[in-house]
Amino acid sequence: MKTKLYRAILVSTAVLLAIAPAALADNGVNSSGLRAAVTVAGIRAHQKAFQNFAKADDGTRVAGFPGHEDSAEYVADKAEAAGYDVTTQEFTYDFFQEFATPILDQTAPNSVSYPANDLAGFATMTYSGSADVTALVQATNDIVIPPGAADNTSNSGCDGDFTEVGAGGFGNIVADPGGPDDFASFTPGSIALIQRGTCTFALKATNALAAGAAGVIIFNEGQPGRTDAFGGTLGGTISATLPVVGAAFSVGEELYGLTQVGNVTVHMFTDTTTTLETTRNVIAESPEGRTDRVVVVGAHLDSVPEGPGINDNGSGSGTILEIALQMAALDIQPSNQVRFIWFSAEEAGLLGSDFYVSQLTTRQIKDIAVMLNFDMVGSPNYVRFVYDGDGSGTGTVGPNGSDVVEDVFLDYFGPTPTEPTAFDGRSDYGPFIEVGIPAGGLFTGAEELKTAAQAAVYGGTVGAQLDPCYHLACDTFKGTNTALALQALDEMSDAAAHAVLTFALTTSAVNGTDKGTGGGSADFEYLGSSLKQ
């Protein structure tokens, strides 16, 4: 049995009994050997290497920069030495930087400074332009206040000179040949007030730009779970000068109410730049296994500019690397080819996984049986989250077969408590789901606050973020060297190893006879990485 590093830190035998893994699912796969080989010490060695690469590059592993490139080289070398067929997939992307704290002030009829990078205020959207503008605020059509039901979202800003071709927010924005226009009476030079919902932030901002807006405020919808400010992404550069921010529902509601009775003036300031960078995905395939029933095992290797990303996502990257190495060391011969992928530029908007999927032929898409995603599995104030493939816990359904993936994890954990997490488009499974590939995985939490009920199950701090260093400089090797972080890493790496082996050895199709397109309730707007609590 493998060494449980965290047990030296824990002091309660009762806690240990509560978190002991359940009996294996009755699926014919005995994963005990692989789970014993995949140790916390092995994963932590990879995380330590990632930390060293970041330290040599101003404390970060941003896609395309030396810290990430060294990490990619490390992963590729390790996988190739273990006998995998390794390739790298190069692509270019727009790297976004913000140089100063943004400003959003109401100057008339009242004097109000909305807090920057705060859940009650606003945050600059990734790929926003850089500008300093004071202008009248004008609300678009289709704003819904009070907000509608969760399944009746606002269409504000979606109708205009442009439209999206392709579902789920991964389509292209093209000229709209006609139809309704949310900007029909918009006065050029005004700041557009738009409500979140239905279409991507990029389409809303593109339509505002075409209408002559001097700036864009996109505020949250207002339903439960959609009230806070959000740091979304525009998915690429749409203008060199148009500032775009994501605001809390309360901010938008206040401004909208004021526009209904008189003039409202706002001062917006953003100081940003976007440069073209080159980066790469790392792909390691098992030499054995059916190539018409491929198991993709993914994690992103890049960090945000603010820190080294040792939990986000050195934990997932290190875990799947260790699984790959130990499968090779144990000479496991998979029935189905296993394809480990370390995606780049996830933090810029799922760009690496989006690029990867975009390069697949229809045949290659059909040949992928399942996508297993591991993004943050060592959070210091963790919760055991399993992606809700059947939508029973969150209402968001994955493609046909995603329920099977969920069941593998739930069967493995058995009576050990877990919680469902939704396919909300915040990680690299998004583009796979969009083309109908079954998906699932594990997650231990990011900026969410731990509830008293969760603390009673997992321990930790009530009211603190599940990862207190999420997207911050303190997401370091030292910062993840805590009892709960190591406990999470141990439990989740075991479950990940079990699932990878299960799908690698299965002789059954994951999704039955065909691939579905997922449930219509999925919202794949990438939420971005810039908002801090």
Distance separating alpha carbons of residues 398 and 395, to the nearest angstrom: 10
User: Which of 184, 242, 239, 185 has its CA nearest to residue 218?
Assistant: 242
Q: What angle do CA 430, 400, 524 make, to 5 degrees?
A: 20
CA distance 172 to 374: 28
Q: Chain-centre distance of CA 263, in angstroms?
A: 38
CA distances from 253 to 29, 143, 367 (A): 54, 10, 47
Output the six-digit token pair for 18.
Answer: 């509560």
Of 39, 40, 55, nearest to 309 by C-alpha is 55
Active site residue 346: yes
**Residue 438, Cα to own-chain centre: how many angstroms?**
17
Amino acid identity of 519?
G
State the Cα–Cα distance between residues 286 and 296, nearest whole angstrom: 11
- Give the Cα separation of 343 and 358 in Å (integer): 13
In SS3 terms, 414-439 reads as CCCCCEEECCCCCCCHHHHHHCCCCE
Cβ pair 94, 281 in contact under 8 A: no
Contact 208, 157 (CB under 8 A): yes
Q: Which of 164, 346, 491, 525 is catalytic?
A: 346
Helix (H) or strand (E) holding 81: helix 66-81
Q: Which long-range contacts (CB under 8 A, 24 or more apart) does 159-166 make?
A: 159/207, 160/206, 160/207, 160/208, 160/210, 160/211, 161/206, 161/207, 161/210, 161/211, 162/203, 162/206, 162/207, 162/210, 163/203, 164/199, 164/200, 164/203
Local structure of 363: helix, strand or coil: helix
* Phi, psi (deg, nearest 5) at residue 153: -85, 165
Q: What crossing angle do the helices spanning 40-55 and 314-329 adopt, rounded to 10°?
A: 130
Contact 388, 421 (CB under 8 A): yes
Q: What are the residue numbers of the active site?
A: 346
